[in-house]
Structure 1
């Protein structure tokens, strides 16, 4: 089942084997399936393991998903726009990026940013009268999906009229949530309920992932069958050393415990976006109490000598469309003695199996590390800080005054140099960019991260705000204090009001960035903010030049 191998230095291999034996003797896989919370911290973990059987439960609901797909197609919708954040948006994004648009079905798009340019860019892509809006929020209280709903519901009302607007919306949310009540009051076409015992980042195989999958025309039954096959391969009856999820989880946990906590993902281009989903799963599940895995996704590949002794490489290779350059790089890494896990993915539908493998492995890794793999205690801190700032904006019409370092300041290169001089072996550098997520912006940020990686031989990450707050943000604030953060903010060339609110999307994004930085500093993290002007592309180019000067 999706072949998995590992090549580790001898001492680390010895420790992995020892831990696998301990798991076998203590019956820990059986205890995991039995929902034994003492595998982790003995808190509420047993309440969050509904994902173990969700694939089978979804198969039994296939008729409803098929009816949904046919209804949406017959109604002539050309696009389906997922309005979500974190666990409610990342799995649909993976499916969208992997499978693309399927003939005869709507194209799925995803909005998970409060950046007004990004909101407007997605609005321009769709015909509002022919778009189905999927409001996706487990709790029903998450700020961003609620703002997206308010904005697009008002836009739909303007285009198709108040009586018909609700017919262009469906909701995915937990039973009894505020969103369920709003959806019913606004006469949404459908409300699909989540499973309360499944946290957002473990929800890919639940309605949060499978409803968008059905709408886009995916063969959901086939997808879930692959997930069920992996669940069977990870069953309690399977010897631990042959259990792919347990072996992967033990490997991740043991290597992190021995300083190799930068899980560097190398993913075949055709399934590249799986890395974004894995970022949230790994970081938010394990990054707490000063411990955790730091996922490194889409870092430009380099020769073995640019990587430090804190790396574990995981190569997810699509057998039907491998990349020769990735193959040669991974072979060189193994030859240089770096630890490498290889996972062979046979075809695109095997992503169903990967969703389960990695959920199981993450739960196991959390146990090995001794953390609760199902909570996110540090995410709330940023939300609280953001709420304080948005409340201030609603009262006064503005955010508190500030004087950030600007990209136009003459002292920029010197400030960057001083910040980067705090980097030590075993650290990582994360670029946190509160700008529109475009290919051009990402290319410049990737160039910056490559330069920093090659100069300091440390792992690097890039996150677009505010989406990373619901993903890697937990590990950045609650995980090992080895991060060096460069936050990038901008002025908004065009802002958008939020219907029914006294603030704008730009004000919300600014409050989220400030709240994020405030909590990073409060937690003793090394963080520097650089503010761009309204011309983001030009500002990023200037920043790149300053970074080059700063690092010599």
Structure 2
């Protein structure tokens, strides 16, 4: 099963399941129903009101001159950096573009902040001259905690640098009538650009939430959107299901998940490696609910066939312009061993626009195959409520409730860790939930730990940095299959940062988010252990790695 951009290689029994599902979709005219916005294709709830992403590309292309004017006006202002302040769907697409295309000559360098970790914020701030920085406050509802406190912090910093002209350094992307629109008006932001109310955050890559940062950083958005429009046509209502590159991918993911292969293992060419983080949110938050769902596995280094169980689907997104022979050889070995492998070919990074649309459609299709509503996120709110209760308590009392977590220096660490890992069963996955600064040094230690777990227990592994993953894979971890074994990592902050106008600090917010996350995981009966690290996080991770080796 293939077209010129997707090649599906399955063992016979899985191919038969996909063929049967494809035939069912053809017989029941399900793609026609999807494009007709028929909510009964999913659960018959409110799905029909969340399908604005189906035709947003046409609207964006029609308004391309307006996007260019905004980009040109910002360019003429001479900003050195443009920083997206957001979480989840409002930040992940810009982060893909930032990591993929880097700095484009003659335009502001795009950066993204999506963490409340004080060290992460400080590391970003050290790169900036507030007087030459544009901040893009990106929040669909305008009520999300993190973008609001990011705005408070950096608006204060800019005001100190430029005085009453601070609003000229801010742009908002938000839905019409939102709280953020009112904040932007009061602070006299340079621009307010609007999202589409019928598009949820994780489906918003091709709306202004993705396209405005793309234009500001100097990308040719007409080309990006043109590739997306071409993919939308190829996924259209008149295309046979078996030849529809989005429908085919969605059917493969859904049909294989129904047969226990729910760990969608993402392999990417280095040139588009950042795409995996965006796909994590799209797949996990859309499908991981009511005990069902896809568990995306990103940045897990490919291993030999004997480290994998029968719960995997490998999807290889690769650039045809820069072939990776080592990756191809390992995937070929997995295919010979009977693992299902999907290959998706991109001629060049600008075709990411096509992939954004393909994967959005595929995820909606997979949700229909699994019988879930792919446009809600019922379990994300649970963590927000728990966090809000803790930050409200801090505002009143000036302190969070006392606690005595297991520390990485405790003598009980090794036996407690071994007891926790003994709960792993075939078909499970292990997720490291790290509320620490997202740095190369920290990721290297965490990747070493995850590889030890994968190779020893032969299970899928995930790695998420908090609180970023709460708006992404956190939904599937709490609402999806109960096959997760979780290790939450928290740390002391070497230095904290204030949130202007609030009693709580960024460190307190991060601590409240971690505690809220842990509480909900425990309430859902998930297998979870928390380990606390010192303020020297790298040293703490080394101790943790040694405990795994013991």
TM-score (norm 2): 0.99
Q: How many residues align?
A: 548
Aligned to 1:324: 325
- Matched residue of 1:313: which SS? strand
Determine if contact 1:172/1:194 at 8 Å carries over to the other structure: yes
Q: CA deviation at 1:168?
A: 0.3
Inter-partner Cα distance in structure 2 for 1:158 and 1:388: 32
- Matched residue of 1:125: which SS? coil
Determine if contact 1:489/1:532 at 8 Å carries over to the other structure: yes
Q: CA deviation at 1:290?
A: 0.2
Q: What does residue range 421-440 of structure 1 map to in structure 2 within 5 Å?
A: 421-440=422-441
Which one of 22, 27, 30 corresponds to residue 29 of structure 2? 27
Which one of 115, 118, 126 corresponds to residue 116 of structure 1? 118
Inter-partner Cα distance in structure 1 for 2:377 and 2:4: 30
Q: CA deviation at 1:543?
A: 0.5
Inter-partner Cα distance in structure 2 for 1:2 and 1:182: 47
Inter-partner Cα distance in structure 1 for 2:496 and 2:24: 56
Inter-partner Cα distance in structure 2 for 1:124 and 1:309: 46
Inter-partner Cα distance in structure 2 for 1:129 and 1:321: 39
Aligned to 2:175: 174
Does residue 152 in structure 1 map to residue 125 in structure 2?
no
Which one of 61, 73, 77 corresponds to residue 75 of structure 2? 73
TM-score (norm 1): 0.99
Aligned to 1:313: 314
Q: CA deviation at 1:544?
A: 0.6
Does residue 58 in structure 1 map to residue 60 in structure 2?
yes
Aligned to 2:46: 44
Name structure 2 gaps, 5 residues minimum. Answer: none
- Matched residue of 1:309: which SS? coil
Inter-partner Cα distance in structure 2 for 1:101 and 1:321: 20
- Matched residue of 1:308: which SS? coil
Name structure 1 gaps, 5 residues minimum. Answer: none
Inter-partner Cα distance in structure 1 for 2:208 and 2:216: 11
Shifted more, 69-78 versus 276-285: the winner is: 69-78
Q: CA deviation at 1:2?
A: 5.4
Inter-partner Cα distance in structure 2 for 1:548 and 1:60: 57
TM-align CA RMSD? 0.6
Inter-partner Cα distance in structure 2 for 1:441 and 1:455: 22
- Matched residue of 1:541: which SS? helix
Q: CA deviation at 1:547?
A: 1.2
Determine if contact 1:2/1:345 at 8 Å carries over to the other structure: no
Aligned to 1:454: 455
Inter-partner Cα distance in structure 2 for 1:477 and 1:148: 26
Aligned to 1:210: 211
Aligned to 1:92: 94
Q: CA deviation at 1:288?
A: 0.1
- Matched residue of 1:528: which SS? strand
- After superposition, the C-alpha distances for 1:127-162 in whole angstroms (9 at most, x for unaligned) are 11000000000010000000000000011001110x
Determine if contact 1:284/1:376 at 8 Å carries over to the other structure: yes
- After superposition, the C-alpha distances for 1:412-433 in whole angstroms (9 at most, x for unaligned) are 0110000000000000000000
Aligned to 1:479: 480
| Runs of 4 or more above 2 Å deviation | none
Inter-partner Cα distance in structure 2 for 1:238 and 1:2: 14
Inter-partner Cα distance in structure 2 for 1:68 and 1:105: 13
Aligned to 1:400: 401
Inter-partner Cα distance in structure 2 for 1:262 and 1:285: 14
Aligned to 2:243: 242
Determine if contact 1:2/1:346 at 8 Å carries over to the other structure: no
Q: What does residue range 369-384 of structure 1 map to in structure 2 within 5 Å?
A: 369-384=370-385
Aligned to 2:165: 164
- Matched residue of 1:406: which SS? coil
Inter-partner Cα distance in structure 2 for 1:398 and 1:2: 59
Aligned to 1:346: 347
Inter-partner Cα distance in structure 2 for 1:534 and 1:412: 18
Aligned to 1:288: 289
Inter-partner Cα distance in structure 2 for 1:323 and 1:123: 36
Q: CA deviation at 1:68?
A: 1.2
Inter-partner Cα distance in structure 1 for 2:197 and 2:29: 27
- Matched residue of 2:282: which SS? helix
Q: CA deviation at 1:81?
A: 0.4
Which one of 5, 8, 13 corresponds to residue 6 of structure 1? 8
Inter-partner Cα distance in structure 1 for 2:224 and 2:366: 25
Inter-partner Cα distance in structure 2 for 1:506 and 1:3: 45
- After superposition, the C-alpha distances for 1:460-482 in whole angstroms (9 at most, x for unaligned) are 00000000000000000000000
- Matched residue of 1:375: which SS? coil
